[in-house]
């Protein structure tokens, strides 16, 4: 299985994401610049956190127009695995690959600390190694992580089991329905504000994020077996 870690001007979690794949899975992984026009050689695309294009206009609003995003859309349609974390989540919503929007934290403060998350959907490409209802500890680091959507969209997310993670206990940013992460209807595109790549070892305070990467490998193996 081969992973791509996208790099935009202003990305700052790309190295963390690259190291997570190397250390947890030992699978091939490349940095891919935002000008790339071919992702056909990759099975999973990781969109990391940071401040793409300095977060001018809105977070992710400029990155969505980068040439590589056309390829990300194509990969998503082909059923390849896409994970957007923090700024990556913001980019996926701006690009229309996931519903809703990420707005300024309700407190108007940047929040950077570990949080408890409840696993709501353990059937996605990135969560199949968890159990539904399990509480995991993964850090956040964002100023615009307040997930917002209208009532109709929220009802659809609930009906289609597209809410992947909810904040368990304290809601650090005021997100609608305590939402910390969502997926598309097919479950191959996941976006979340917490950083699993920063929680892949107990030395980092938690290893709960490692299973997101292991989930992708398991999902890929199952997909390959089904295709035979």
59 is catalytic: no
Q: CB of 43 within 8 A of CB of 220?
A: yes
Which secondary structure element, helix H or strand E, spans residue 59, and what is its range? none
Q: From residue 221, give the alpha-carbon distance in Å to each of 123, 198, 215, 227, 228.
A: 15, 25, 10, 10, 11
H or E stretch at 155: helix 151-159
* Separation CA 159–CA 28 (nearest Å): 36
Annotated catalytic, 195? yes
Q: From CA 74, how far away is CA 25, in angstroms rounded?
A: 25
Annotated catalytic residue, options 13, 86, 149, 183? 86
Strand segments, DSSP code E, in 3-132 are 3-7, 29-33, 44-47, 81-85, 101-103, 111-119
Catalytic residues: 86, 195, 197
């Amino acid at each position: 299985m081969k992973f791509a870690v996208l790099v935009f001007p202003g990305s700052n979690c790309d190295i963390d994401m690259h190291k997570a794949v190397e250390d947890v899975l030992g699978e091939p992984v490349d940095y891919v610049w935002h000008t790339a026009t071919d992702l056909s050689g990759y099975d999973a695309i990781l969109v990391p956190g940071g401040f793409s294009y300095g977060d001018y206009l809105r977070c992710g609003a400029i990155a969505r127009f980068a040439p590589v995003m056309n390829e990300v859309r194509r990969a998503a349609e082909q059923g390849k695995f896409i994970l957007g974390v923090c700024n990556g989540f913001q980019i996926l919503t701006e690009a229309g690959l996931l519903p809703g929007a990420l707005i300024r934290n309700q407190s108007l403060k940047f929040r950077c600390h570990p949080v408890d998350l409840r696993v709501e959907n353990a059937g996605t490409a990135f969560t199949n190694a968890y159990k539904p209802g399990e509480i995991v500890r993964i850090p956040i680091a964002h100023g615009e992580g307040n997930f917002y959507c209208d009532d109709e969209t929220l009802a659809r997310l609930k009906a289609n089991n597209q809410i992947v993670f909810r904040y368990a206990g304290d809601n650090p940013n005021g997100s609608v329905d305590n939402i910390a992460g969502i997926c598309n209807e097919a479950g191959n595109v996941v976006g979340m504000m917490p950083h699993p790549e920063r929680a892949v070892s107990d030395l980092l305070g938690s290893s709960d994020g490692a299973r997101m990467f292991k989930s992708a490998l398991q999902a890929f193996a199952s997909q390959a077996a089904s295709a035979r």
